[in-house]
Amino acid sequence: MAALSAEDSAGDSAEDSAELPARLRQARTALLVSYLAQGTVFALLVSRITAIQTQYGMSDGTLTVYLAAVPILAGVGSISMEQVVKKTSPRAVLRIVQPLTCLTLVGVGAGHQQWQAAVAMAAFGLCVGGLDASQAMSGVALQHRSGRSIMQGFYAAYSLGGIVGASLAWAEAHWHWGLLSLYGYSALVVVPVVIVASGKYAGPAELGKAVAEAAQAAARSIPWKPLLPLCLAMTMAYIGDATVSNWSGKFIQDGLHSSSDQMTALPYDAYMVVMLLGRLLGDGRVQRWGSVRTVQLGTVVCAAGFLLVSLAPNPWTAVVAFGLVGLGISVVVPQVFAAGGRLFPSASDAAVARLNIFNYVGFLVGSPLVGALAGGLNYRIAMLVPMVLVLLILLVARSFGARAAVPAEADTVAV
């Protein structure tokens, strides 16, 4: 009996070992769905900022305050979720906050008084921060387990979601569905999808020691100084991203005096389409040109895009120009994370976590800065500011080629 039991145990172990890569692939697919949904929901909000402003009767100054508050609260939500995750798991948090994010979007579409907008957008910011943190933790743990870079795929899924969301926003503007209908019906689709996908999120059975190893890596003390050039690059890139996300529609409407409501959704759509293409082709460019040259070219393309936006004689030229901005930014952000991982291969998760903070810094600086300049001067001058700030990345581009002397070791499983 003992021999039979041992044999059965060995058979079960072999079967579990054979099933593990399949479960990890399922978990990766489920997280890709989560990123796709997040990109869709975020695009549904930012692509209809002009409609939200009209529905709630906001002045440009009030809108600037609201748009600045969202990334602040997202940062609070992200930090708070880190403490919650310690007592539960990234999977448990993700299962809750993603459906809640969809419901807060419905709240944005349902109200008409500014206090209702404040409550709904505050809840949206907190939930998005928690969603961002739990997704990143899950993605890093999966990457840690697989032993190779898979985060680029999650970024691509997010970009694809952005295209879906911005396209739906254009349809709402074209056929005049109304924000509540747009957000309500979108939630009816997205919420069941993410709930079904959440059943396949990776947990202890799939990740093994990866979560603990990632946590240990994050707890290690790493110096800030080598990361500072990358932090600057991340901040400048997200100032550019925040400008497109929050102000591209307003530029079309107020800067170029377009009377077509549906045109206000197109810049972000073009931005995300080109960004997706850039991310899908980005690895090939890095292999041919190297990280430093890729970042330098991406920076110049991004700045050229903002210059063309500022000079655009008509809305369609501006749409093309915002797409050019997306092409440039598409290669910068992934290379920031990749460079951080190369600097600290034994604590790459800690480096990525620190760099990700400057995502929020860029949004916090970019959105109110561009909004204030647009209100005080005009939108064309305001669009030159992110152009100048993005060019600062050229000053630190050489940092993307830095490498650590000691390679990392990892217990990996192919996914």
Q: Check whether 218 has a pLDDT greater than 90.
A: no
Residue 204 · residue 364 · CB < 8 Å:
no
| 21-219 and 223-404, same CATH topology | yes
Q: Which residue has the higher pLDDT, 99 or 375?
A: 99
Whether domain 223-404 has CATH 1.10.760.10: the reply is no
What is the predicted pLDDT for the residue at 225? 86
Q: Report the chain's mean pLDDT, rounded to a whole number.
A: 84
pLDDT tens digits, 259-288: 778 888 899 999 999 988 887 876 666 677
pLDDT tens digits, 102-130: 999 999 999 999 999 999 999 999 999 88
Residue-range domain boundaries for the chain: 21-219, 223-404
pLDDT tens digits, 151-199: 768 878 988 999 999 999 999 988 999 999 999 999 999 999 999 999 9
Q: Among the listed ranges 28-42, 306-320, 337-351, 387-401, which one has the minimum average pLDDT value?
A: 337-351
52's tokens: 């939200």
With a pLDDT cut of 70, the percent of the chain lying above it is 83
Q: What is the CA radius of gyration of the chain?
A: 22
Q: Which residue has the higher pLDDT, 10 or 211?
A: 211
With a pLDDT cut of 90, the percent of the chain lying above it is 47
Q: Which residue has the higher pLDDT, 390 or 79?
A: 390
Q: Which CATH number is 21-219 given? A: 1.20.1250.20
132's tokens: 């961002």
pTM: 0.81
What is the predicted pLDDT for the residue at 49? 92
Residue 310 · residue 387 · CB < 8 Å:
yes
pLDDT average, residue stretch 93-101:
94
Amino acid at the residue 341: G
Helix axes 228-250, 2-46, angle to 10 degrees: 50
Report residue 349's pLDDT band, with 50, 70 and 90 as the boundaries.
low
What is the predicted pLDDT for the residue at 14? 38
What is the predicted pLDDT for the residue at 214? 55
Q: How far apart are CA 142 and CA 415, in angstroms?
A: 9
Closest C-alpha among 210, 208, 201, 204 to residue 96: 201
Q: Check whether 413 has a pLDDT greater than 60.
A: no
pLDDT average, residue stretch 300-326:
96
What would you measure as the largest C-alpha separation in the chain, in angstroms?
Answer: 85
Closest C-alpha among 246, 256, 265, 243 to residue 378: 256
Q: Check whether 61 has a pLDDT greater than 50.
A: yes
* Most confident of the following: 37-41, 46-50, 401-405: 37-41
